[in-house]
Amino acid sequence: MKYIGMPMGMWALFKKSFEQNLTTEFGLDRNTAKKVTAKAKFRYKEIIAGLPEFEKKDCFKVNIVNCALLSAFVLNMPKRPDVKRLTAYYAGSMMTPAMRWFCRKSGKSKFSDKDIASMQATERLKAADRNPYSWNMEFYPYPDGSGYEARFTACGICTLMRELGLYDLVPAMCRLDYTMSEAGGATDFVRKYTLASGGPYCDCGYRKKPGRNDNKGFWDRWAKRYDRTIAIEKNTYVQILRRMKKKLDREMYVLELACGTGVLSAQLAGGVKMLEATDFSEKMIEKAKQRAHSSRLHYSVQDATALPYAPGTFDAVIISNALHIMPSPEKALAEIRRVLKPDGILIAPTFTAAGSIFGRLKIRVMELSGFQVFHKWKPQEYLDFLKANGFTVTDKEVYGGALALTYAEAKVKKV
């Protein structure tokens, strides 16, 4: 592996913190710490030169470079550290302000379509079959939708540290997974086995932190400003409202999911027998109740992925501009299939802004404000998602505007 590139960049980024923590964690004086660092740089270059180049699609190059960096310092310390002290040293050296920022940024995209696709691609690559310093991984989403687990059956860190006579210190590196997950703020890291301790594999499990991966906090905070925000899309809302009204009648029981402040609910209730308008944000429902009162309209706080209604309850289910911001929209669609009557209709207009540069820019601005867009669909990708989750699309149209919106009507596929 060439030193110029990532290895050189990693040395530039972390050399100072690795040197400073020699004093903080091991009590070395500054002159001794500088001498260790100078020797470590030479050894680091030697280790890097002995590694093969990684394939372009192999995302684990950074892991082996980090391993080489830590190993170079350990091999030049006056006294070999134990696992406990090395764990503290490695975490202190790696978790710089820049690294903590990176962890928070990565946490915001955890469980997104891109993240899942990356995990699946890594599983297929099986890079360790060709490079003993890389990793082989199996990907296991948790059945309850709470996250996923990566099981590593081949580990480059184990290979390199065994060659360097440092195999007993591997757990010090492994512990950083917990630290980075905590810094990301979006997941709880769980682990049962490691290869270094004789396990069948090394598992890296990521479970969603309650309330941190569903935008709920964002919507609670945003409830007071929500109406002003969607006013930007007023023309689009008028058009989709007109289409919805054509599909509903006075004999229908209708469920609206993600109703927000009731912008659509108040205008649809007069044309149906009963409209059950729901949102998972208590603040949104509080705001909605201030908007309109009708014997045909009832508001409640509900989770779209775990509805309390009996099977076959509703003639129509409406979910507007919400599926793309749900971590697990397939779970919401499964619940919608369950509560719809056999010939019921799903009306699901959804923002599909990823098809344009302007749309992607808008999404980026929203994410910087703390809002998470989990599924950045283009129009056809969204329609394909509905079809893949048990629905037949019966009508569709793409609307322009500040953010492109794909209006879709669908029915449950006949078995």
DSSP 205-241: EEEEPTTTSSSHHHHHHHGGGHHHHHGGGHHHHHHHH
pLDDT of residue 171: 94
Least confident window among 62-76, 281-295, 386-400: 281-295
Q: What is the average pLDDT score of the chain?
A: 89
- Contact criterion met (CB below 8 Å) for 30 and 15: no
For the purposes of burial, counting CB atoms within 10 Å of the CB of 95, is it exposed (0-12), middle (13-18) or buried (19 or more)?
middle
Number of Cβ atoms within 10 Å of the Cβ of 94: 21
User: Percentage of residues in the chain with pLDDT exceeding 90?
Assistant: 70
Q: Is the pLDDT of residue 3 over 80?
A: yes
Q: Provide mean pLDDT across the span 255-283.
A: 92
Q: Provide mean pLDDT across the span 190-215.
A: 84
Strands (E), 294-382: 297-301, 314-319, 340-347, 350-351
pLDDT of residue 290: 87
* Backbone conformation region of residue 104, classed left if phi is above 0, alpha if psi is from -120 to 50, else beta: alpha
Residue for token pair 């082996």? 64
At residue 285, φ and ψ (nearest 5 deg) are: -65, -40
pTM of the model: 0.61
- Contact criterion met (CB below 8 Å) for 290 and 319: no
Give per-residue pLDDT as tens, 327-337: 889 999 999 99
State the pLDDT confidence band at 107, using cuts at 50, 70 and 90: confident
Number of Cβ atoms within 10 Å of the Cβ of 282: 13
Higher-confidence residue of 70 and 280: namely 70
Q: How far is CA 84 from CA 99, 176, 204, 304, 318, in A?
A: 22, 12, 20, 45, 55
Give per-residue pLDDT as tens, 164-178: 999 999 999 999 999
DSSP 375-405: ----HHHHHHHHHHTTEEEEEEEEE-SSS-E
Q: Residue 59: CB partners within 8 Å, gap ≥ 6?
A: 118, 122
Q: Is the pLDDT of residue 156 over 90?
A: yes
Question: Which of 253, 411, 259 lies closest to 336, judged by CA?
Answer: 411
- Contact criterion met (CB below 8 Å) for 252 and 315: yes
Distance of CA 270 to the CA centre of its chain: 39
pLDDT of residue 231: 52
Q: Residue 229: CB partners within 8 Å, gap ≥ 6?
A: 222
> Looking at this protein, which amino acid is placed at residue 404?
A
Q: Is the pLDDT of residue 370 over 60?
A: no
Which two structure tokens, joined as six digits, stand for 98? 């820049």
> Looking at this protein, which amino acid is placed at residue 257?
L
The sign of the CA dihedral 367, 108, 115, 212 is negative
Which two structure tokens, joined as six digits, stand for 120? 């699946």
Give per-residue pLDDT as tens, 390-415: 999 999 999 875 568 899 999 999 87
Q: Is the pLDDT of residue 222 over 60?
A: no
CA 292 – CA 266 distance, rounded (Å) = 6
Number of Cβ atoms within 10 Å of the Cβ of 77: 18
